[in-house]
Amino acid sequence: MTAMTRFLARSISGAGLVALAAFGASAQPSAPANAVDAATAPPVIKPKPVIEPTMHWNLADASVLLSVIEGIESEGLFPADYRPDLLRAALAQGEGAALDGAASTSFGWLAEDLRDGRTPMKARVQWFVVDPDQDDMPTDKLLADALTRHDVAGVLASLAPTHRDYAALKAALAATPPENKARRALIRVNMDRWRWLRQDLGEIYLLTNVPEFQLRLTVKGKIIRSYRTVVGKPGRTATPQLAERVTAVVFNPTWTVPQSIVKGEGLGARLLANPASARAQGYKVTRGKDGFVTVVQQPGPGNALGLMKIDMPNPHAIYLHDTPSKQFFNHEVRAYSHGCIRTERAVELGMTMAILGAKMPAAEAAALSTAREYKKVPMTRTFPVYLTYFTMAQDIEGGLRQFNDIYGRDAPVLASFEAARQVKTTQRKSDEEVIELDNPL
């Protein structure tokens, strides 16, 4: 790398830092009169901007990059974000430091957006999914591969999501006339959401689309089962977006009632005062020497978790489970839970997971499901579970449909698309409050 190239790289990174700092300053509200003194306040750790590498470009590779940028609207992105005018001007000057700096930065920004999504983290409401693609496909390696193989277009094309829904959205974008701006914007939003997920979702995985109220089991790219779901009510009980793993299936689960209900709603005191009522509802109530009251609902058809629970450890205490209130699966809008995913035909799903993940014979899985006794089946092969939020996607019949934005999560993404592209930072997921939602009622 020449001294001039290093200078340009530092200058570009510095400009990004200035822009990020200016955005952060404009977004901060003024401090209230009773604000905590700065000397005693905890330090605020801000994500650092991502610094793109700089490499030498020849005219042919840079021209291909410019052509990709000019046509990138087909992927739901915006050509102007990647500075085609600067790249065009640098090409006119010929090979050298100016072209190296302009092309490397434009490539880096475009690769990041194709791989990770254009939407800044602040606009990804309740998005707690950590996408590993930037670790598996780091920008510097992508740039080096593109220039070593002289295949800029191929390397960039390889970063696009491979899920069939992304392809359907891309086709819909191409078929939607420019004057239909609202539909095109919504398509772009949902194309970008696919980039927020890892590119390879796995050979076997569960994926639930919250606004659709549906869960799918996919094996080797084919959806083999779909299930209606009940999701969290809007507000603090809204279902967050997660990517976790199935670690166990619990048949005939118990439910340890959260203290927000035991103490906060007085359930513990009421049950202690009426043991007959506790037994009738299947509750086992204990009071420790310190006065702490624990309430555990025993297995049975009346258990709040129904007859099956899928363990997927996460700090939000979210899981998939059965329910005795099956009438809600017949409602068109099914946002009634405290965040967890109530699942139709949950026992069938649990048996399938036990067969696939623990190599359990089907007859044994069926016997466990009807035994009315607690049984936890650990997975010897774990599967990913994705709790996603798509307001336009293929429905279970395979048609592209728009779904109600039940939590209002489209607006921040749409607003970010109207604004200039933000410099990427090291932040990997939402920094919003983590709310424990272990309440199936």
Tens digits of per-residue pLDDT, 120-174?
999 999 999 999 999 999 999 999 999 999 999 999 999 999 999 999 999 999 9
Task: Mention every residue, 6+ apart, whose C-beta is less than 8 A from residue 365.
Answer: 350, 351, 354, 355
Q: What is the pLDDT of residue 48?
A: 78
Q: What is the pLDDT of residue 62?
A: 98
- Residue 400 parent element (H or E): strand 400-402
Nearest to 265 by CA among 297, 295, 291, 230: 295
Q: What is the pLDDT of residue 28?
A: 33
State how far the Cα of 301 lies from the Cα of 155, in Å rounded to an integer.
Answer: 54
Q: What is the pLDDT of residue 441?
A: 58
Q: pLDDT tens digits for 360-378?
A: 999 999 998 888 899 999 9
State how far the Cα of 319 lies from the Cα of 321, in Å rounded to an integer.
Answer: 6
State how far the Cα of 243 lies from the Cα of 382, in Å rounded to an integer.
Answer: 13
Q: What is the pLDDT of residue 391?
A: 98
Number of other CB atoms surrounding residue 151 within 10 Å: 15
Nearest to 112 by CA among 84, 88, 81, 91: 81
Q: CA 416 → CA 121, 153, 367, 411, distances in Å?
A: 10, 26, 52, 9
Q: What is the pLDDT of residue 43?
A: 47
Domain with CATH 2.40.440.10 in the chain: 201-400
State how far the Cα of 8 lies from the Cα of 243, in Å rounded to an integer.
Answer: 39
pLDDT along the chain (441 residues), means of 10: 35 30 31 37 62 92 98 98 98 97 97 98 96 96 97 98 97 98 98 98 97 97 96 95 97 90 88 91 90 92 92 94 94 93 96 95 91 93 96 96 98 97 92 78 58
- Please give the CATH number for the structural domain made up of 201-400: 2.40.440.10
Q: What is the pLDDT of residue 36?
A: 36
